[in-house]
Amino acid sequence: MTLRFILCSLALPALALAACNSSQPAAKPPLEGARIGGPFALTDQNGQAVTERNFAGKYRIMYFGYTFCPDVCPTDVQAIGAAVKKLEASDPAIAAKIVPVFVTVDPARDTPAELKEFVSAFHPRMVGLTGSPQAIDRIKTEYAVYSSKGDPSPGGGYLVNHSRQAYLMDPDGKPIALLPQEQGPDAVATEIKRWVS
């Protein structure tokens, strides 16, 4: 057996594998075709009116929570903000295409001022959105988000039970994937890079 034959024998499977990989169709986004997202009219952390059209042409991360949340929301939003910061360092072109958005499910307490203090703690480009209870109910329906006000505490406060998902939406406002914010910023950044080009 000649050296040339051995080299050719080793090269052929590698070439065949490369050929197979190059013809594989790109994976479809897991939420492609899902009825998630839609028009909204809300107010941002600066008191400005905002609609879905303000985000046209940008990928957006849509997370729903509330600023008085004692644990889950700050942890999740920290992971999202840190993931965007990681992308700004490693893949600035991708990061520039993304807008992280925090939508309150507690509009009675989450005024623009409350939202501004909250979102600015996690990322300078994070947008906080609030609105009338009716407007918040509409966007919750559009994004299949559940929330329910809990019983009041002796001090007059209350918790809000809510679903915990972060949607990655495309520049046309269509859903792409759920982000694994509960797994931390590295997992979120990896999932964003999978879909944002």
Alpha helical stretches, state H, 52-184: 72-90, 92-95, 112-120, 133-142
CA atoms within 13 A on the CB side of 38: 14
Q: Residue 88 is part of a domain; what is its CATH number?
A: 3.40.30.10
pLDDT of residue 56: 95
Our CA angle for 160, 165, 169, nearest 5°, is 130
Task: Determine, yes or no, domain membership for 144.
Answer: yes
**Domain limits at 104?**
41-149+158-188
pTM of the model: 0.85
Both tokens of residue 168? 């990655």
Question: What does the mean pLDDT of the chain come to?
Answer: 89
The span from the CA of 197 to the CA of 186, in Å, is 18
**Domain tally, the chain:** 1
Low-confidence stretches of the chain (pLDDT < 70) are 1-26
Task: Determine, yes or no, domain membership for 27.
Answer: no
- Closest Cα partner for 46 from 110, 120, 113? 113
Query: In this predicted model, what pLDDT tens digit does every residue of 31-46 receive, in sequence order?
Result: 999 999 999 999 999 9
pLDDT of residue 28: 92
